[in-house]
Homo-oligomer: A and B are copies of this chain.
Amino acid sequence: MTAKRGDLFDPDCPTRRLLDRIGTKWTSMAVKVLADADPGEVRFAELQRRMPGVSQKMLSTTLQSLTRDGLVARRVEPTVPPKVHYSLTDLGRSLEVPLSALREWAEQHMAAIDTGR
- Interface positions of A (Cβ within 8 A of B): 1, 5-11, 13-20, 22-25, 28-29, 32-33, 50-54, 68-71, 91, 94-95, 97-99, 101-107, 109-113, 116-117
Contact = CB atoms under 8 A, between A and B. Distances in A.
The A contact surface, by secondary structure, is helix
Q: How many copies does the complex hold?
A: 2
A48 to B, nearest CB: 11
Contacts of A17: 106, 110
B23 A117 contact: no
B97 A99 contact: no
Contact of A19 (B15, B23, B109, B116): B23
A13 B101 CA distance: 15
